[in-house]
Amino acid sequence: MLVLTRKIGEMIRIGDEVTVQVLAVRGGQVRLGLDAPPDVRIFREEIFRVIEEHNARARLPDPESLADAAVIWKEHANGNDKHS
């Protein structure tokens, strides 16, 4: 891992188009400003992990379960129509 020390206001450039600037350091927290093209995904790591886990869990549902789910949804939707 590359380790760099930066002062407040100083920047790091990653590739040609991504910059990271240290905006503030307060207590145990660092505030960063990031600039990148729109096709570069920037998220807090924990958000990324949540989505990764969801995608892994959603992967290839059992066809019978999906067929059941479609029936359950249809009955549920029809039931709501009758009540409204």
Closer to other proteins by Cβ: residue 25 or 42 = 42
Contacts of 11 (CB under 8 A, 6+ apart): 19, 20, 21, 22
Distance CA 61, CA 25 (A): 45
**Member of 39, 45, 81, 84 binding other proteins (CB under 8 A):** 39
Q: Answer yes or no: are the C-beta atoms of 17 and 37 closer than 8 Å.
A: yes
Q: Segment 44-83, which members bind other proteins (CB under 8 A)?
A: 44, 47-48, 50-63, 65-70, 72-74, 76
Residue ranges in contact with other proteins by CB under 8 A:
38-39, 41, 43-44, 47-48, 50-63, 65-70, 72-74, 76
